[in-house]
Structure 1
Amino acid sequence: MKRAENKSHCPVNFALETFGDAWSLLIVRDIVFWGKHTYGEFLDSGEGIATNVLAARLAHLEGKGILSKGPHESDRRKEVYALTEKGLALIPILLEMSGWSATYDPETTAPKQFVDAVYADRAAMFIRIQDLVRRGGSLFGGERSMVKP
């Protein structure tokens, strides 16, 4: 039995109903941090999402207005997912979660230098990263990444 959406109009409940499952923010993370945009790229992420779960999460995020889907430039068999403005607004949440995890997870993979840069001027960094992702870039992966390996 499917549970009713938006059980209350509490802002925290709304957020959890929109992206609070175990996979949604990881898909958003893959776009923002690693520049992933296709089903196959998301499927190759280290957490091992099942194909049916990935398909359901992508459809959910598209339905909620977090992602948009369009044709791949060079391969008509593929679709490309991108963050909408509503999805880009999740970037500060991802960065705050990363900072929190960097503080409390002794085995974090978050680069300290990057976390320190985010916390030095949060508002400016949030805008900078949103603009980067809006233009097709990412933080750590791809040709248009902010942080080079």
Structure 2
Amino acid sequence: MKDGTFLALAVGATIAAATAVLSPPAHAVTMPSEHTTSSGVPYVAGGIGQGQADALRSMRDKYNLRMTFARARTGEYLSDIRVQIEDMHGKRLVDALAPGPLFYARLPDGNYRIFCTFDTQGQTRQVAIKSGRARDLVIYFAPASMTSATDS
């Protein structure tokens, strides 16, 4: 009986140790994954929480258009931004939702129109992408107090 109890404890300890080694820690950061649009444009988006933001920033050198979304005045990072990118002929190359404040894309050389929408606010930018040069944009949206109606 002692041998059976010892064996059960040994097996249980082995399973617990293997689970601890193979399972990611509770604080593990989910690395944002790259997506490719139907037009062939690779992009990555996210940056919620410091760990994910750091992970995404470590990927930034792979992309030539890097956008950050924030509130004007406070600099508060924003999430759920609709990002649409068109070439100068009006062909939509990207139509995506950025779940966090960072959005990186790898575009061919050319001129583009970028439309970003947060809540009911829209921002438009034009950007030229040239070989070997990355473009960094910070797109600010008005503070919440300026976008919502107040009852007086």
TM-score range (shorter-chain normalised) is: under 0.3
Larger Rg: 2
Higher share of residues assigned strand: 2
Higher share of residues assigned helix: 1
